[in-house]
Structure 1
Amino acid sequence: MKVLVTGGAGFIGSNLARAMLAAGSFEEVRVLDDLSTGYAENLTGLDVAFTEGSILDMAALERVADGVDSIVHLAAIPSVPRSVANPRASHDANATGTLNVLEAARATGVEQVIVASSSSVYGSNPTLPKNEDDWTRPLSPYAVSKLATEGYAIAYQASYGLKTLPFRFFNVYGPGQAAGHAYAAVVPKFIDAALSGQALEIHGDGRQSRDFTFVADVCRVIMSAVSRRLSHPGPVNLAFNTNTTLLELISELEAQLGETVAKEFTDPRVGDVRASQADSLLLRELFPDVTPLPLADGLSATLAWYRGRIGLDTGAS
């Protein structure tokens, strides 16, 4: 089986490529990434066919898609704050880029396309947990672009018979997630600050909640979907019905560090949702064999990776 991973030099993409190669059941893993948010070093030592290029380049897309069985489309400009700062770039990469990927799949005869949407599409909907049939009300340009991502995938299944599967990701974290930039996700940002002796910046009161999902669990679900050529006529939440506030996350981090960390509370960010928790009934129906890693274990593995990166003793407190 031959698979193309767009955005494969990014955090989730490189973890997925590594997992696919380790599984031994994938004949070829191709990666397309323009390295705007991914890093070539994430692919060091991996036997992938890497092409540096953009999903906005149709010719490049068609070249790398030709001959593959499935495309896992992860390429995007992530981050709600980044989209608020530059909505056009987020739209171009996330909405138009997805349309290009689907068109390339159609042109080259690819059987299946899996796309990454986001829990941010639920926006101002206060219902918890979030069910795939709940109404959506995006609060940021990023969320709008991700709603377009899954909408295009669903439409191409209905219009052209393409096997598509849109996953709504919920706060994926784990080893390999970059911390040192302005739009870093909360888990690496907190870990990096804690290990550097800096205060953890908390936007708002810290009681906003998230459904944190370990990256290895995300990879296992995606690989199962690819292996089974799975499709679904609507979006699927890819998270496991957990609800952790940022203050609870910090408490767990402090327990693993064995010390209290400094905290700095700042104003809430524009576009952020207050609470996010997935209804995982559909996910568990489609993927009954996937058992998620508890947050404490996932955070421990992530913390160990970051300590290794900065040369600290992984057994130290």
Structure 2
Amino acid sequence: MTEKNFTGAKILVVGGAGFVGSNLVRLLREQRPARIVIVDNLLSADISNVPAGDDIDFRFGSIADDAILEKLPGDLDYVVHLACYHGNQSSIADPLADHANNTLTTLKLFERLKGMTSLRKVVYAAAGCAVAEKTFDGASATKEDAPVSLFHDSPYSISKLIGEMYGNYYFTRHKLPFVKARFQNVYGPGEILGAGRWRGTVHTVWRNVTPTFVWKALHGEALPVENGGIATRDFIFVEDMARGLMACALNGEPGEIYNLASGVETTIRELAESVNALAGNSTPLALTPARDWDRSGQRFGDPAKAAEKLGFTACVAHRDGLEKTIVWTRDNRDRILGCMMQHARYVPQVKAYER
């Protein structure tokens, strides 16, 4: 493994105003890069996540916009592509929007980057859920070389795989230094419920399971646990994910895939019980039916390759990460509620949180 850093580098973070992107930008700045260009259309992000500073160059818009692409610096050192149409439920509601914001964005970005000789690495946020076995019968850790099915549960899953395939093509055809970082379930401070524009479903507000559970627990509500809570996920703290992306950029081998995972399997019921205990919520869980679209109910990633090849290991224990997330949510309640209230006409129950 080669030890390097980002000092003096020119970095593009696509989706840098989002949950993971903003945490990544914060850690990158600690290494004093020369410039961080953030491109984000704020579809699922909030402008408050964009820091001020002479080293930050924020450009509002989609990376699929020709005007945005044309004006990108021609001497970038690193690119981290995090933009996506978040997440599965919204993609099911509007597959065309998913295509425009997941698939087309990736293809046009790679087409713009091909031939940029200054590039050291292009890191793509791939999805672990797209390759996980479809099972509720007990999961094995998903490895990087897991077989890929042609049958998928959501357009989001399909588009994330297409992104990998396009990256592989540009790597083999144009020598784009492309590295795939396969995400697991990221959680932690900075994930703002309701951030961005309405995307057609209540999941514009109620995003990933952890921030939803934390918010509801802090307000004394019953946490909605589907299918008895038997589904499992690999929860990785957002700062660990950011460090993993940095490791991919510095030490990843072009053309390779790396799981960024904790390697720990946690049931949704265990998550709910932990959040309630830490938040002091005594309201019983609300058991609800299984989601009819989700067949990959139990899954977690194998972190061995990333540890060996990148020197990356997730280090924040789940309970510690949940405690940090709960504290951050309490401290940022008004900021979060302001974003949620943007969608009150579609999700009127959010008005109940005003006081």
> In structure 2, how many angstroms separate the alpha carbons of the residues matched to 1:19 and 1:235?
22
Which of residues 143, 163, 169 is equivalent to 2:177? 163
**2:35 aligned to which of 28, 38, 41:** 28
8 Å Cα contact 2:132-2:299 kept in structure 1 = no
Deviation of 1:59 (Å): 2.9
TM superposition outliers: structure 1 runs of 4+ over 4 Å: none
Question: Matched residues in 2 for 1:80 and 1:221: separation?
Answer: 23
- Contact kept in structure 2, 1:87 and 1:141, CA below 8 Å: yes
User: Which of the numbers 141, 160, 165 marks the counterpart of 2:155?
Assistant: 141
Tell me, yes or no, if the aligned pair for 2:14 and 2:39 is still in contact at 8 Å: yes
| Among 221, 241, 247, the residue aligned to 2:269 | 247
Q: Tell me if 1:131 matches 2:143.
A: yes
The equivalent of 1:224 in structure 2 is: 247
1:258: how far off?
3.5
Distance 1:162 1:187 in 2: 35
Structure 1: where are the runs of 5+ without partners? 312-317
Partner of 1:153 in structure 2?
167
Where relative contact order (Cα < 8 A, 6+ residues apart) is larger, the structure is 2
- Pick from 50, 62, 65: which aligns with 1:43? 50
CA distance in 2, matches of 1:143, 1:83: 9
Matched, 1:265 2:270: no
- State the AA in 2 paired with 1:41: S
Q: Distance in 1 between matches of 2:60 and 2:194?
A: 22
SS at match of 1:64: coil
- State the aligned residue count: 309
User: Given the alignment of the two structures, is residue 122 of structure 1 paired with residue 167 of structure 2, yes or no?
Assistant: no
Q: Closer, same or farther in 2 for the Cα pair 1:197/1:224, shift >3 Å? A: same
Choose which of 177, 202, 207 in structure 1 pairs with 2:191.
177
For 1:194, the aligned partner's letter is: A
**Gapped regions of structure 2 (runs ≥ 5):** 1-8, 196-201, 335-355
Structure 1 position 38, deviation (Å): 1.2
Post-superposition offset of 1:95: 1.3
CA separation in 2, counterparts of 1:234 and 1:290? 17
Residue among 203, 228, 234 paired with 2:256 = 234
Letter paired with 2:107: L
- Corresponding residue SS for 2:228: coil
State the one-letter code of the partner of 1:246.
Answer: I
Alignment-derived partner of residue 93 in structure 2: 85
What is the RMSD computed on CA atoms of the aligned residues?
1.8
Q: Is the 8 A contact 1:132 1:237 kept in 2?
A: yes
1:178-198, Cα deviation, whole Å (9 max, x unpaired): 224722100000001111222
Which segment is superposed worse, 154-163 or 240-249? 154-163
Instruction: Show CA shifts across 1:65-110 (max 9, x none).
Output: 4221111000110211111101111122111111111111115445
**Cα shift readout 1:236-285 (whole Å, capped 9, x = no counterpart):** 21102110001111121122123423322222224322111001111111
Scaled by the length of structure 1, what TM-score is found?
0.91
Tell me what 1:314 maps to. Answer: none
Q: Is the 8 A contact 2:92 2:154 kept in 1?
A: yes
